[in-house]
């Protein structure tokens, strides 16, 4: 399983020079697939697809992705925070 993030976090549609606010909020990704589990940080996924789990045998079943945002000591800007998280399953032969 490979993941990639467009923004490396939840990016605000607003900007500011005030350091009291955060414009890009990092998050954790928890991935589960057929009994296999992996964790990743959004800021590690921003440059390209990163392999977060590799299983040597054929698998089938349900998958889930959970996004967790930790509390921060900075304020959020008014507006929307968005990211696109891509997931890619690639068979190895």
* pLDDT for res 35: 81
pLDDT, position 60: 77
Query: What's the pLDDT tens digit per position in 46-63?
Result: 878 998 888 777 777 777
Residues in the chain: 93
Contact status, residue 83 vs residue 5, Cβ threshold 8 Å: yes
Asked if pLDDT for residue 21 goes beyond 80, the answer is yes
As a whole number of angstroms, the distance between CA 41 and CA 47 comes to 12
Judged against a pLDDT cut of 70, whether residue 67 lies above it is answered with: yes
Residue 44 phi, psi dihedral angles, 5° rounding:
-85, -10
- Domain segments of the chain: what residues? 2-88
**What's the gap between Cα 7 and its chain centre?**
9
Among 34, 10, 35, 36, which residue's Cα sits nearest to residue 23?
A: 10
pLDDT score recorded for residue 93 = 67
Q: Are strands 28-33 and 63-68 parallel, antiparallel or unpaired?
A: antiparallel
**CB neighbours of residue 67 within 10 Å:** 12
**What is the model's pLDDT at position 41?**
92
């Amino acid at each position: 399983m490979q993941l990639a993030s467009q923004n490396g976090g939840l990016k605000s549609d607003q900007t500011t020079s005030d350091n009291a606010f955060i414009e890009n909020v990092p998050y954790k990704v928890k991935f589960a697939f057929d009994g296999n589990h992996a964790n990743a940080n959004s800021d590690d996924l921003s440059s390209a697809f990163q392999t977060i789990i590799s299983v040597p045998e054929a698998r089938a079943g349900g998958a889930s992705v959970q996004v967790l945002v930790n509390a921060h000591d900075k304020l959020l800007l008014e507006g929307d925070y968005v990211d696109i998280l891509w997931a890619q399953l690639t068979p190895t032969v």
